[in-house]
Amino acid sequence: MATIDRVLQRIDDGLEDSLSRLFDLLRIRSISTDPAFAGDCRNAAEWLAGELSGIGIPSEVRNTTGHPMVVGHAANGQAGPHALFYGHYDVQPVDPLDLWDADPFDPRIVTRDDGSRMIVARGACDDKGQLMTFVEAARAWMAENGALPLPISVLIEGEEESGSPSLEAFLTDNREELSVDFALICDTGMWDRNTPAITTMLRGMVSEEIVITAADKDLHSGLFGGAARNPNRVLARIIADLHDADGRIMVPGFYDGVAEMPADITAMWSELGFDEKAFLGGVGLSEPAGEAGRSVLEQIWTRPTCDVNGMSGGYTGEGFKTVIPSQASAKISFRLVGEQDPVAIRDSFRDFVSARVPADCAVAFTGFGCNPAVQLPMDSDTLRKGRAALTDEWGRPAAIIGIGGSIPIAGDFKTMLGMDSLMIGFGLDDDQIHSPNEKYDLQSFHKGIRSWARVLDQLAR
Amino acid sequence: MATIDRVLQRIDDGLEDSLSRLFDLLRIRSISTDPAFAGDCRNAAEWLAGELSGIGIPSEVRNTTGHPMVVGHAANGQAGPHALFYGHYDVQPVDPLDLWDADPFDPRIVTRDDGSRMIVARGACDDKGQLMTFVEAARAWMAENGALPLPISVLIEGEEESGSPSLEAFLTDNREELSVDFALICDTGMWDRNTPAITTMLRGMVSEEIVITAADKDLHSGLFGGAARNPNRVLARIIADLHDADGRIMVPGFYDGVAEMPADITAMWSELGFDEKAFLGGVGLSEPAGEAGRSVLEQIWTRPTCDVNGMSGGYTGEGFKTVIPSQASAKISFRLVGEQDPVAIRDSFRDFVSARVPADCAVAFTGFGCNPAVQLPMDSDTLRKGRAALTDEWGRPAAIIGIGGSIPIAGDFKTMLGMDSLMIGFGLDDDQIHSPNEKYDLQSFHKGIRSWARVLDQLAR
């Protein structure tokens, strides 16, 4: 019997124990954003360091200015590439509590009408359930084989749900220790319940607030209307100028670094059976509104965007007030893809706006973020091996997918530590992460553990 | 000695008594918007009905669904045109009370360093001081001559500062009684402290709120950005389309009924010495931003406008939220001049907007007003006589001016009773109406009384 088959058998036999350990972790109220739960966060870190050390990945709790990190290494001179596994032990707050069917920190199995079984608790999926698929896979490898098939380091964060305020400094301070060949991240989803996926594209983002100021006070439109500059109108004109009639973004140089996807990838996407009408219909829309001639998946995974997330000026309460406001403001964000340079785009955007600010108006900019897109090379060996492992486990090809949003850690690993990330996860669209009654499919947990065992096996070849 | 000279002499001799009566009225706390002062409003109405009846204009307090009206008639078969005098006895609230130097309802005379004397109290100018200039002029005429020189009716309202909710029904119910040859309104200002003015132009207004709805909920721009319609962008495009590069309004038919001013009027304005730089500089601006090639006075008195008074969509709080909002809204108003048809403009605007709402978006309109401009014909006999009277009193030609805002009663008299209004008032720009330490220049009060005496004399010729 091949080693991997024995490891998989051990995983199957030990599933109840794996579940029991996950439940122990789920009972810890590690809500990172609320200082009242700081002790719980530390407890979660210590529990994880203990588990990892216990299975043969010596780990310790490292203090930060916020919640601690867990760092471990099992890199005892094996051959093969060295991988850093990342997950996070902190969870979202649970309010509104009255929408939960039971205590969010008292995990339980709920069996659905179709016989499928769900782990229900805060963090069941995001990210305790997900990170434990890796830990349990490593445990089975260690137990069966006395060692992992390749050098592994582990970094478990405790502030992912509250903006990771300590992460950048921690990566900087421990750059040498944490810079290995690539990262493994378990915080993403499957294509559907039976189709595994590897997330290879994350859009980056430039976020800017602009404030246009005209007069130094709000004016009465009866007295000044017709003579005074109206910043609402100035702002609307700038926003309107940002796109042409075909939906292309008019900021100079914006599309530098945006490449077309390889034909085999877009062909694969068209075979995934993505239901555009259902996706848009679910929120009351019927037509993709983005760049003409692109599928919805292309629009949200592979194309950069410009959206106005907020816009405000003048009187916006009940009724009517004939004011010419002094100021108008907008929060504008750009989702980036491929090799787009966020700093160049921010600068070009600011120039674009400034050039449209007329006499007697001033504009002020506040940056809220400037992060590049993350893209795992399509010809990467790591990607090929990960895909093979998942395809073996699930009996169908793993989808190569994107996420329209960002996973900041993948960008940080790339820009700060020079590492690509292999993002594999087993979350499903209906897992209700961040919401009441968060769940994780027991199949995701079980086959997720098996998947990681196969991924480790593949990566070591 | 001519009758008018005896009337003027009587006014001069009785100034202290006139002031004392004004102070009695100013002591009444007739704040119309606050139900706690309803009894005070009735007291003010009764006080005025008593005064008017006492001087020979039999008057009564008429109930409405709100605060009562005062209506009187002294039309005992005299020759001459029949005029309806309008004023209002209600006042604005007094908060913030701590910014007043003394009790707002304890009127007093404050002497400035230059020797000028000011009546300080809530309502000193708006409108108790102003309306009493007419009442005291009528008193002097009656006392000196036993009758007014022409038939006079009086309508004093008690809800002008709270939107006149009872006015329309009252005018409808008493249309025959109140429809006379023209109205006299004392609720406007002078050009400057020594230059009288007649306000002949009031801009009308169409006020509309538009709400653009796209998706049926707010969306995450990571998940939907690039595919979902953003109503902020839709709204900005519509607002940008409302003007061309020269500041002209693009709503079809908008300029129908907009005429150029006669050359002698614009010539007079250029001689008024209006300081555009000071006017704009006072609010932090330096350049007129309206239609090219127009003076500021033309822009604010004679030209129609389109302003965005409020604009809102998405996340507008602190920080950043990458939302694609479900809705965006704007409050948009048009100031109208001349013969512009407000209903036609509202309809054309709604068509203009609807034609720009793309697939998957809906637009809803809420109207907040639809009032035509008021313009006293430049060749009107009433205007000529009023101007002659003011010129006699003040020793310099009365300016013919506009107000960029509206005085709703003048529009109501025109549209509901078919009467033009001669708008003469003695307010000054620094009277602080609606604000703490409201004042009325004693010179305005004294020469205002004398002015009305002369206007009545002229109108009877």
Confidence (pLDDT) at B454: 98
* Torsion sign (Cα): A21, A27, A32, A38: negative
Please give the average per-residue pLDDT across B221-229, as a whole number.
91
**Chain-wide mean pLDDT for chain A?**
95
Confidence (pLDDT) at B449: 98
At residue B32, the 3 state secondary structure works out as coil
DSSP label of B146: S
Per-residue CA distances from B322 to A310, A346, A408, B210 (Å): 9, 16, 14, 24
Please spell the DSSP secondary structure of B159-176, one letter per residue.
-GGGT-TTHHHHHHHTHH
What confidence tier does B408 reach under pLDDT thresholds 50, 70, 90? confident
Nearest residue to B382 via CA among B416, B410, B421, B408: B421
Tell me: pLDDT of A222 over 80: yes
Instruction: Decide if A99 touches B, using CB distance below 8 A.
Output: no
| Residue of B199, B230, B291, B406 best to disrupt the A interface, most CBs of A under 10 A | B230
Please give the average per-residue pLDDT across B218-224, as a whole number.
89
Asked if omega into A127 is within 30° of 0 (cis), the reply is yes
* Torsion sign (Cα): A169, A170, A175, A179: negative
Cα–chain-centroid distance for residue A134? 18
Nearest-by-CA chain A residue for B288: A227
Confidence (pLDDT) at B283: 92
Confidence (pLDDT) at B203: 93
Report the side by side order of strands in the sheet with B108-111.
B108-111, B117-120, B439-441
Residues of chain A contacting B359 with CB distance shorter than 8 Å: 286-287, 289
Reported as a single tens digit per residue, the pLDDT across B34-80 is: 999 999 999 999 999 999 999 999 999 999 999 999 999 998 777 88
d(Cα A189, Cα A136) in Å, to the nearest integer?
18
Taking the CA of residue A341 and the nearest CA in chain B, the distance in Å comes to 18
d(Cα A56, Cα A139) in Å, to the nearest integer?
8
Confidence (pLDDT) at A17: 98
Please give the average per-residue pLDDT across A31-39, as a whole number.
95
Taking the CA of residue B16 and the nearest CA in chain A, the distance in Å comes to 35
Please give the average per-residue pLDDT across A352-377, as a whole number.
94
Which positions ≥6 away from A427 have C-beta within 8 Å? A125, A126, A130, A188, A189, A190, A433, A440, A444
Which positions ≥6 away from B64 have C-beta within 8 Å? B159, B166, B169, B170
Confidence (pLDDT) at A404: 84
Q: What predicted TM-score, i.e. pTM, was given to this entire model? A: 0.85
Q: Which two tokens stand for residue A369?
A: 């973020």
| Strand segments (E) across B286-361 | 305-314, 323-324, 327-336
What's the length of chain B? 461
Instruction: Decide if A278 touches B, using CB distance below 8 A.
Output: no
Residues of chain A contacting B219 with CB distance shorter than 8 Å: 283
What confidence tier does A110 reach under pLDDT thresholds 50, 70, 90? very high
| Residue of B258, B276, B322 best to disrupt the A interface, most CBs of A under 10 A | B322
Please spell the DSSP secondary structure of B371-435, one letter per residue.
E--EE--TT-HHHHHHHHHHHHHHSSPPEEEEESS--HHHHHHHHHH--EEEEE--B-TTS-TTS
What confidence tier does B272 reach under pLDDT thresholds 50, 70, 90? confident
* Phi, psi (rounded to 5 degrees) for B227: -115, -30
Please give the average per-residue pLDDT across A387-404, as a whole number.
95
Confidence (pLDDT) at B265: 87
Confidence (pLDDT) at A78: 78
Confidence (pLDDT) at B70: 98
DSSP label of B124: T
Which positions ≥6 away from A364 have C-beta within 8 Å? A210, A211, A213
Instruction: Decide if B199 touches A, using CB distance below 8 A.
Output: no
Diameter of chain A measured on Cα atoms: 89
Q: With an 8 Å Cβ cutoff, are A321 and B331 in contact?
A: yes
Residues of chain B contacting A214 with CB distance shorter than 8 Å: 284-285
Angle (CA) A216-A219-A225 rounded to 5° is: 125
Q: With an 8 Å Cβ cutoff, are B313 and A315 in contact?
A: no
Tell me: pLDDT of A77 over 80: no
Is the model more confident about B134 or about B80? B134
Confidence (pLDDT) at B346: 98
Instruction: Decide if A189 touches B, using CB distance below 8 A.
Output: no
Residues of chain B contacting A360 with CB distance shorter than 8 Å: 284-287, 289
What's the length of chain A? 461
What confidence tier does B163 reach under pLDDT thresholds 50, 70, 90? confident
Q: With an 8 Å Cβ cutoff, are A221 and B307 in contact?
A: yes
Please give the average per-residue pLDDT across B432-455, as a whole number.
96
Nearest residue to A186 via CA among A140, A163, A210, A154: A154
Reported as a single tens digit per residue, the pLDDT across B356-406 is: 999 999 999 999 988 899 999 888 999 999 999 999 999 999 999 998 887
Reported as a single tens digit per residue, the pLDDT across A295-342 is: 899 999 999 999 999 999 999 988 888 899 999 999 999 999 999 999
**Helix/strand/coil (H/E/C) assignment for every residue in chain A:** CCHHHHHHHHHHHCHHHHHHHHHHHHCCCCECCCHHHHHHHHHHHHHHHHHHHHHCCCEEEECCCCCCEEEEEECCCCCCCCEEEEEECCECCCCCHHHCCCCCCCCEEEECCCCCEEEECCCCCCCHHHHHHHHHHHHHHHHHHCCCCCCEEEEEECCHHHCCCCHHHHHHHCHHHHCCCEEEECCCECCECCECEEEEEECEEEEEEEEEECCCCCEEHHHHCCCCCCHHHHHHHHHHHCECCCCCECCCCCCCCCCCCCHHHHHHHHHCCCCHHHHHHCCCCCCCCCCCCCCHHHHHHCCCEEEEEEEEEECCCCCCCCEECCEEEEEEEEEECCCCCHHHHHHHHHHHHHCCCCCCCEEEEEEEEEECCEECCCCCHHHHHHHHHHHHHHCCCCEEEEECCCCHHHHHHHHHHCCEEEEECCECCCCCCCCCCCEEEHHHHHHHHHHHHHHHHHHCC
Residues of chain A contacting B269 with CB distance shorter than 8 Å: none
| Residue of B307, B332, B433 best to disrupt the A interface, most CBs of A under 10 A | B307
Instruction: Decide if B282 touches A, using CB distance below 8 A.
Output: no
Residues of chain B contacting A358 with CB distance shorter than 8 Å: 289
Please give the average per-residue pLDDT across A167-194, as a whole number.
96
Confidence (pLDDT) at A270: 87
Q: Do A324 and A234 touch, CB atoms closer than 8 A?
A: no
| Residue of B258, B309, B326, B340 best to disrupt the A interface, most CBs of A under 10 A | B309
d(Cα A430, Cα A447) in Å, to the nearest integer?
18
Confidence (pLDDT) at A315: 93
Confidence (pLDDT) at A268: 87
Q: ipTM of the predicted structure?
A: 0.85
Reported as a single tens digit per residue, the pLDDT across B329-352 is: 999 999 999 999 999 999 999 999
What confidence tier does A1 reach under pLDDT thresholds 50, 70, 90? confident
Confidence (pLDDT) at A376: 92
Question: What residues 100-139 of chain A have any CB closer than 8 A to a CB of chain B?
Answer: none
- Residue A404 has its nearest CB partner, among B217, B223, B360, at B223
Q: With an 8 Å Cβ cutoff, are A285 and B214 in contact?
A: yes
Confidence (pLDDT) at A413: 95
* Torsion sign (Cα): B184, B186, B192, B193: positive
d(Cα A255, Cα A109) in Å, to the nearest integer?
48
What confidence tier does B293 reach under pLDDT thresholds 50, 70, 90? confident
Q: Do B235 and A233 touch, CB atoms closer than 8 A?
A: no
Q: Which two tokens stand for residue A66?
A: 């916020």
Taking the CA of residue B38 and the nearest CA in chain A, the distance in Å comes to 24
Q: Do B200 and B185 touch, CB atoms closer than 8 A?
A: no
Confidence (pLDDT) at B271: 87
Residue identified by tokens 């003409």 is A292
Tell me: pLDDT of A425 over 80: yes
Q: What b-and-e string marks burial along A70-98, b requiring 16 or more CB atoms within 10 Å of the CB?
A: bbbbbeeeeeeeebbbbbbbbbbbbeeee
Taking the CA of residue B135 and the nearest CA in chain A, the distance in Å comes to 29
Confidence (pLDDT) at B389: 98
At residue B80, the 3 state secondary structure works out as coil
What confidence tier does A189 reach under pLDDT thresholds 50, 70, 90? very high
Please give the average per-residue pLDDT across A246-268, as a whole number.
93
Please list the residues that pair with A366 across neighbouring strands: A209
Residues of chain A contacting B223 with CB distance shorter than 8 Å: 300, 404-405
Please give the average per-residue pLDDT across B26-36, as a whole number.
96
Q: Which two tokens stand for residue B292?
A: 């090219």
Please list the residues that pair with B311 across neighbouring strands: A313, B330
What confidence tier does A75 reach under pLDDT thresholds 50, 70, 90? confident
* Phi, psi (rounded to 5 degrees) for A289: -105, 5
Cβ atoms < 10 Å from Cβ of A352: 18
Q: What percent of chain A has pLDDT over 70?
A: 100
- Residue A322 has its nearest CB partner, among B225, B303, B309, at B309
Confidence (pLDDT) at A254: 98
Q: What percent of chain A has pLDDT over 90?
A: 87
Cα–chain-centroid distance for residue A322? 44
3-state helix, strand, coil in chain B (%, to 5): 35, 25, 40
Please list the residues that pair with B403 across neighbouring strands: B202
Cβ atoms < 10 Å from Cβ of B287: 15
Q: What percent of chain B has pLDDT over 70?
A: 100
Taking the CA of residue B93 and the nearest CA in chain A, the distance in Å comes to 18
Confidence (pLDDT) at B78: 78
Angle (CA) B357-B359-B361 rounded to 5° is: 60
